[in-house]
Amino acid sequence: MISSSPKQPAKGPARTRKVSNTAMRINTSAAPMRQEDDPVLSRGVMPVLVTGASGFIGAHVVCQLLERGFSVRAMLRDTSLSMMFPKDENLEIVKGDLFDIESLKAAVSGCEDVIHCAAALYVGAKDVKRDVVDPSVVGVQNLCSVMDGVKRIIHTSSVAAIRSTDYENGKVFSRKDWCDDASETRNSYGFAKAEAERIMREWAKDRDVRLVTIHPSIVFGPILHKRHLEGSMSYLKHFIKGPPFVLDVHINFVDVRDVAIAHVNALEKGVDRERYIIHKEGMWMKEIGQTLTNNLPKKYATRKLPSIFAYLLAVFHPKLSVNQLKGSLGNHVGYDVEDSFSTLDLPDYDVASTLVDSVNSVKAQD
């Protein structure tokens, strides 16, 4: 199945309704049945370790696990960030750092299930090795060194590990593709995500462990903390606090709530060693602005900035570069999600609700 918009119906669909010109998403997805050939998950007994629990995806994974009745061990570098989580007797907060082996040993101890969300996406990072590459590559090496007792691993990768740095306009990528042409200095994020996944797969190759990798496109949705305003949500901040024009840029995105559901359902339903692309829709920035205008009581930017002015802007913008725009202005790619939505039992919904919920969530931080 090729997404922009998966057509397969999913069990327990999310319904979208309009109230006061605002789209509201209601999640009614039920917990899936566990695989007969998979060891019984010790729900409520042995905790599921979530690394990167304070990140945008990780925080939603923690909340989804708690909602399903799992015992959760959330690993945070800064334990004060635990305030973003609901009070729950099944939630354990531990201080840990991917660069601190001893803290990783303590975090993994007693866990058979690990959801590895910890990574970094810094738009416009100054030191890409320190801020982007090392958290993924060195981080996963360190984590693998302490996971001997783990039985199931859900590894958060990205479509960046699938999409090549150079591609033909309109190309559709699938789970069989790999980002093989990136480096630390050219498409550092794609390099980091692909390399981290390779390390994880190599580690799991000869071990009695079930490994599933999740590959979301750009992640939008309600933020749980102001720190989630960075990274992927920077694209939507443009419509709230940016100039009254848009770039001729195409954005592939998915709802963070679906990404969280995919991680949790993968514990029980994900096929060993499989890669799942979690992607919902591809829209031009102009279309996103129009969708927001149609669903919210305000007009949002829809006027495209001519390319020559876009390149001029990139010279002075701290998070843009001329090279970055060369590869993205007027170009688009797609992703074949194949059976990801049906296998992982993901809900169907109106993408307008994702955009509206995202923008309302960002506004609430002001």
Cβ 147 vs Cβ 115: under 8 Å: no
Instruction: List pLDDT tens digits, range 212-228.
Output: 999 999 999 999 999 99
Residue extents of the structural domains in the chain = 2-222+253-281+335-350
| Tokens describing residue 211 | 């490994």
SS3 308: helix
Instruction: List pLDDT tens digits, range 243-265.
Output: 899 999 999 999 999 999 999 99
pLDDT reading at 43 higher than 90: no
What CATH code would you report for 2-222+253-281+335-350?
Answer: 3.40.50.720
Least reliable range by pLDDT among 147-151, 285-289, 348-352: 348-352
Q: In angstroms, rounded to a whole number, what is the distance separating the alpha carbons of residues 71 and 93?
A: 11
Sort strands 172-173 and 250-255 into parallel, antiparallel or unpaired: unpaired
pLDDT reading at 19 higher than 80: no
pLDDT reading at 190 higher than 70: yes
For residue 303, the model assigns a pLDDT of 95
Q: What does each C-alpha distance from 16 to 94, 98, 233, 242 come to in angstroms?
A: 36, 39, 22, 28
**What is the per-residue DSSP string for 89-116?**
TTEEEEE--TT-HHHHHHHHTT-SEEEE
Q: In angstroms, rounded to a whole number, what is the distance separating the alpha carbons of residues 29 and 10?
A: 9
**Mean pLDDT, rounded, for 162-180:** 97
Q: Identify the residue whose tokens are 């975090």.
A: 107
Q: How confident is the model at residue 27 (pLDDT cuts 50, 70, 90)?
A: very low
**pTM for this entry:** 0.87
pLDDT reading at 293 higher than 90: yes
Q: In angstroms, rounded to a whole number, what is the distance separating the alpha carbons of residues 216 and 277?
A: 6
Closest CA to 217 of 8, 57, 55: 57
